Structure 1
Amino acid sequence: MDNSPLRLGVPVKILGNPDLKSNDARRATSKPHLKVSLGYLEAIFDYLAAHRITMYRMSSDLAPYATHPDMPEFHGMVQESAAELASIGVRAREQGLRLSFHPSQFIVLNSPDPVLVKKSIWDLTSQSEMLDLMGLGPEAVVVTHVGGVYDDRDAARRRWVETWATLPEPVRRRLVLEHDDLRFSAADVLWIHQHTGVRLIFDHQHFWCFNPEQAELRPTLQAILATWPDDVRPKMHFSSPRTELRQLVRKDRKTGKAVTVNAAPVWTGHADFVQPFEFIGFMRQAEGLVFDVMLEAKVKDLALIKLRPDLVRYAPDIAARFGLGVAAQAQLEAEEAGLLAAE
């Protein structure tokens, strides 16, 4: 069992330094390349090291147009970048940095459309290949969702299982499956795991947004963590829901004019920051369980930098699980103040 501190991670865009780019986002006519993205990634690694952040989700567009069906000139860029990928993989291991990908919602393995499924497998294969060329261990994963319901949830789940059997070995080795907030619950992905062996991701906000089985949190979390091998630390996702009033512009049906109306929050929306008391409560429910936490707050690294001193201040027992001692509080608060206005 790995007894090292639990990690807190952030996804893709770094907001503490807006000059940092997560990928080469130039248009195809400018010949963007994975090698350029990896240069940007090196700078992000510097930022993560400076702020002692040890888990990071890379952009799913790291290799631009690498799987675009109509642009074959980009298809070889992953292999062309093998040396650079190996080098940055060494850097990640030396830095103790856990890396992952989370492809977009357009990656759908249970679609009735075989063309979409084939394209989705191609994307997953490309991202798995990059992790392999980086020389990363089995903790470096590619996260996906089940996909669409297509008017028949059971058939949709079965199609995912059927597609799993056709996936290339590198994809099956890297792929992990996450339940979502609208379509497929934790119970659904546990059913898929039973039929495939795929590892699973627990998402705290999704669990509360979509749990038609009314499953209990800790037993569900335990069951999902148990889908990982004993020698590979699981990871999970945490975010807080947005709570603020929304003001929406809509057309008045009678007058045809645009009017501003007040609207309640949508609980599937992610808040800018992590609500610390919610996080503390969850971590106490998860006492004794071992997993890393990817924070999916809207302000990304700023949310992590805000959460750490909050944990030391309000829950030293939880802070200690993440390697944050009370003695570090002043340093953490100074770091927070350096990136965020004082309270």
Structure 2
Amino acid sequence: MSELRPVTRLTPEGEPSFGEPRFGLCCIFSEQPIKFRNTTVKAVKAMNRDLALEKLSGLCLHNADALQKSLHFCAENGIGCFRINSQILPVKTHSECGYDISELPDGNEIIRRFQACGEFAGTNDIRLSFHPDQFVVLNSPRPDVVDRSLSELEYQAEVAEWVGADVLNIHGGGAYGNKSEALGRFAECLNRLTDRARTRLTVENDDTTYTPADLLPLCRAEGIPLVYDVHHHRCLQDGLTVEVATEEAVATWNREPMFHLSSPMDGWNGPKPERHHDFIDVNDFPECWRQKRLTVEIEARAKELAVLKLIRQLSDDSSHADGVIL
């Protein structure tokens, strides 16, 4: 059984801390000069294999160093979680350009640097997570899509193991005309995951297909934590209030729950309320989350600016109004 690093928050005195959310920054920065690098399949295919592996090795080293800088920023600014982007090892699972880490000239050093990131995160109580891209669909009726999805999950689980990340979060996928059958395929695919991927896997409600009420039976039956996205729930409602959905989601976790928060670009009455705003409207922060031990990843276009602004606003009770209620 693959064991996850404990998610433990400590006070400045070294005692366990309970009762307040920590906030997460997602993948990249708005203003900080910290950049992750990527490449394209076209660029890699234009090189011979040895040159391509050398190029990819350098990108992976750079990204490990950028992750270390990202974590230092989080530690210095009271940000308790960081989501690692899916391209941290560029084109890792591509059918023609993909590679095993052992093929890279700096493979061992790449692993060592990522492990150092994990050590820093653990020492500074920064939780790490992954959110694989939308093409990861475990319940697809197409075997090739499922195979690619499993390959992507296993790659990200490998890096998650290096750094001590405990969350590998995906959406439920498509309905394909029958939600029950589609979720059945999702459950069947779980048996094809390695232990390190399966123990980290979480599922999130989305804004078009699967609500919390749709996913909770799957989560309970298979022991998969629900990452509750309150913005998605407000866009695609199911009869559960935010308060009830929160409690039901919390109950699916055997460690600190992780939730998502964002605000609509043009307001709740705008033409596309599912679009993310640059910042978080503090009124969108559910009141029932205020005193819970949660990780709340902030999905806002202004990235670190949005996270830091929300932290400041929530620290000032006078600036906080009641949360939106379904």
| Partner of residue 280, structure 2 | 274
Q: Name the amino acid aligned to 2:149.
A: S
**SS at the partner of 1:299?**
coil
Give the share of equivalent positions with the same residue, in percent. 27
Q: Name the amino acid aligned to 1:285.
A: C
Structure exhibiting the larger radius of gyration computed from Cα positions: 1
67, 86, 90: which one pairs with 1:64?
A: 90
Give the drift of 1:186. 0.5
CA distance in 2, matches of 1:88, 1:58: 11
| Partner of residue 150, structure 1 | 176
Q: Residue 116 in 1 paired to residue 145 in 2? A: yes
After superposition, residues 1-343 of structure 1 pair within 5 angstroms as 3-4=17-18, 5-17=20-32, 19-25=33-39, 27-28=43-44, 29=47, 31-33=55-57, 34-73=60-99, 76=102, 80=108, 81-134=110-163, 136=164, 140-211=166-237, 213-229=238-254, 232-243=255-266, 264-279=270-285, 282=286, 284-286=287-289, 288-315=291-318
Does the 8 A contact of 1:65 with 1:74 survive in 2?
A: no
Q: Name the amino acid aligned to 2:127.
A: R
Does the 8 A contact of 1:12 with 1:22 survive in 2?
A: no
Distance 1:50 1:177, change over 3 A: same
Alpha-carbon displacement from aligned partner over 1:112-150 (angstroms, at most 9, x marks no partner): 11111111111111111112122x26xx21110011111
TM (normalized to structure 1)?
A: 0.78
Does the 8 A contact of 1:22 with 1:58 survive in 2?
A: no
Give the drift of 1:316. 8.2
Aligned length: 291
| Partner of residue 11, structure 2 | none
CA distance in 2, matches of 1:193, 1:244: 31
Does the 8 A contact of 1:23 with 1:38 survive in 2?
A: no
Does the 8 A contact of 1:24 with 1:36 survive in 2?
A: no
Q: Name the amino acid aligned to 2:145.
A: L
Distance 1:156 1:313, change over 3 A: same
Give the drift of 1:194. 2.7
CA distance in 1, matches of 2:263, 2:56: 35
Does the 8 A contact of 2:21 with 2:289 survive in 1?
A: no
Distance 1:217 1:244, change over 3 A: closer
Specify which structure has the bigger relative contact order, considering alpha-carbon pairs within 8 angstroms and separated by 6 or more residues. Answer: 2
Is there any run of 5+ residues in structure 1 with no aligned partner, and where? Answer: 246-262, 319-343
Greater shift, 96-105 or 302-311, is seen at 302-311
Does the 8 A contact of 2:168 with 2:202 survive in 1?
A: yes
Give the drift of 1:100. 0.6
CA distance in 1, matches of 2:86, 2:139: 20
Give the drift of 1:16. 2.5
Distance 1:64 1:287, change over 3 A: closer
CA distance in 1, matches of 2:297, 2:223: 22
Does the 8 A contact of 1:109 with 1:147 survive in 2?
A: yes
Does the 8 A contact of 2:36 with 2:88 survive in 1?
A: yes
Greater shift, 175-184 or 2-11, is seen at 2-11
CA distance in 1, matches of 2:100, 2:82: 25
Q: Name the amino acid aligned to 1:241.
A: P
Q: Name the amino acid aligned to 2:30.
A: L
Give the drift of 1:264. 4.5
CA RMSD of aligned residues (A): 2.5
| Partner of residue 333, structure 1 | none
Give the drift of 1:192. 1.2
CA distance in 2, matches of 1:7, 1:110: 32
Is there any run of 5+ residues in structure 2 with no aligned partner, and where? Answer: 1-7, 9-15, 322-326
